[in-house]
Structures are given as structure tokens and as C-alpha cells.
Copies of this chain bind each other. A is one copy, B any other.
């Protein structure tokens, strides 16, 4: 079986990829130093969790090399974690880090210097893309991103809308919206028009998705325009916080879905995160969740927008079965990757197995990197491909008597084909 799994992995690993969700900055897609790598929140938050004070990590003006030195000095407790294994795989693949060594105070500097040298090569970004077999990467763009000065075929714009839905009560957000759309927001009509202009702009730049992350309490409903108008008026007149933020949040969310229909954009829903639960956590290391969330909260949305595809990520593995069932019943619900706290092997294996056996093969997007730097796409996708090879070997070839070719066809769809189909590429 081990041989079978390795053969399947080798084939899956040869597939050219499109990464359907990341936080890559297209103008600084690759890393400049190892501090960009070790500064990823997975490392800073885990090292902080294991005992390193936040101030030592987030010391302002900290030199990148000193930052890496400090983090490596406290990284030993992370050796068992899969996140640490991404780091070693990345270091071995890109920077010749020895196969049998851990990252320690004794060897980090060699790695740092080697990495700095490679990263300084003018074609470093291209080298990483080539080695990762990455054809394109979806971005996470602020709604007022001009989307200029980068190759939107390689770095595909995606309209991220958390601010619009959940922070419109902040004057700064409204000002950004007014500026980006050259619209004075006075009422529901102008608000709607401004949002429409965002879609026009993003669409014209080749955006392939609208996306949002949602707290576990959110349950979208259609709001009557009058109610939304009243809420907006109250907000605009007051210098205080919006008194009915939920009404406006629902209005904006529903409006986004309407524009997704109009512009034929899939609407990525990332369901379940509570922000800033650990208030003294490191940057990007404060969010957690309440796993008591249900897709029944999205019942009205899925019924109201049959023409919009909703690629859905759930934060907690306990929600995955609902996702499988909703994707099995609703034509417009698609499973999307393994998100954040569920992006570890035990949960991926359990969740992916359930999807592979009950969701039509055309409705599953296997994986996305969620990465901030290009170098992470390789080890993260590799982790997923190893698990996918295991599932295909055990559950399809051995259990169900599939040929290896049949299993690989399924793998190729999940990994690549569906990304192209579902996002109309």
C-alpha cells in the first residue's frame, strides 16, 4: 500500500496548480528574508503560546535577522506541529537545509544567509512558482485596491468584503468606499451604487471571486430597503456607532450576493471565526471560534440565489458534515479547502474523506494555501496531496477497486480542474 500511495502522490504532485485562496501581496509575493517566513502568524502565535512574550516577538523596529534568531531560540516546543513541518519542508526544498536536522540556534544563521542570497536573486519569485508548479494564485484584495501594476492573470484579484459588511459603521471605511468609487454615500441607493462600482472595477480587472469571513453568529437575511435606509440614515447622522449594525450588515451582504449574481462571480463564504478572542495575542494570532454554528443559518441565502455559486469553507471540522450534506443537496453549494484550524492532517483526512464519498466530484475544491508568502504554497499543498493520495489509495483503489488512473482523475479534478470550472477561468 505504501508503494501505491507513493505512486499516487508522485502523480498528484506533478499537477500544475491554481491556488484558489491566498493572502499573497502580488508586488511582494515572495519573501525577502527568513523573517518573512518565520514571521508567519502560525509560528509567532505558536511560539508565543509556548511561552515567548509577545513584546519580544513584536518589538518595533526589530531587525529581521535578530527576529529570526529570537524565534528560533524558542521554537523547540513546536517540533511536533505540522506547521513546523511546513517550515522544514520549505527550508529543505528551497534552501538546501539538511534533511536530518532541526532548526536550532546552531544552524539558523546558515539557513538565514542561504535564504537571503536565494531570495535576492531577481527571478526568485519565478523560481518559487516554477518549483511549486503554480500557474496562478488568487489574492485577497481590499475593496479599494486599485489592482494596478501586477499581472492579474497570475495573481487573480478577489474582492474581500469583510470591511463593507461588518465595519461600515466606521467613518474610515465609508470614506474609503466613497473615494474608491467616487460616490457620495447618502442613502441606500448610493450605497448600492457604490458597491456596484466595486464589482465593475474588480470584474474589469479579472476578479474571479468575491469573498468574506463570517462570525459564527451571522445568519444572513434579506432586509427591507426601508429598514436598511433607516439604519443608514441613523448611522450617517450620528457621530456615534451605528445603532443597528446588523441591519446594515445584512443589507450589504445581500447586496453583495445580488452583484455576485449580476457579475457571475462565485461568493466564497468562510464561516465561523470570532475575531480578537485572545486580546493580548500576537498579530493575527488572536482569533478563535465557537464551533456551534450551522449552515441552516444560510438557508435563505442558498434558496434566494440559485444562480450564485457559494464555495464554502468552515472553520471547525464538526461543521464539515453539514457542508458535505448541503453541497450534496444545494446545486449552488461547493466545498472549499480546509481552513485554518481545520488545516491539519487529522482534520483534513476526516473531512476530505467524507467529501470525496458524498459530494459530486465536480463540486469540490480540494485545497487552497491561505498563504501570505509564495514559499508556503509548496509545503501546504504537499501536505494536502499526501493526504489525498492516502485517501485515494485506501478508500478508492483498495476499498472500491478503482484503477489508479480513475483515482488520479478524481484527484486532478479536486486539485485543479474544479478550480478552473467553478471560477470560470
Contact = CB atoms under 8 A, between A and B. Distances in A.
Given A346-B354, A410-B80, A292 B292 contact: yes
A346 B344 CA distance: 18
Interface in A371-419: 386, 395-396, 399-400, 410
Contacts of A317: 321
Interface residues of A, number: 72
Contacts of A327: 49
Interface string A36-52: 00000000011011110
A279 B306 CA distance: 11
A217 to B, nearest CB: 10
A281 interface: yes
A77 interface: yes
Nearest to A318: B318
The A interface is mostly helix, strand or loop, or mixed, namely helix
Given A85-B400, A346-B350, A316 B306 contact: no
Number of copies of this protein chain within its complex: 3
Contacts of A79: 361, 410
A250 B360 CA distance: 39
A331 B286 CA distance: 11
Contacts of A396: 80
Contact of A291 (B299, B318, B344): B318
A278 to B, nearest CB: 5
B81 A360 contact: yes
Nearest to A52: B331
B331 A50 contact: yes
Given A292-B294, A296-B274, A325-B288, A80 B399 contact: no
B341 A321 contact: yes
A285 interface: yes
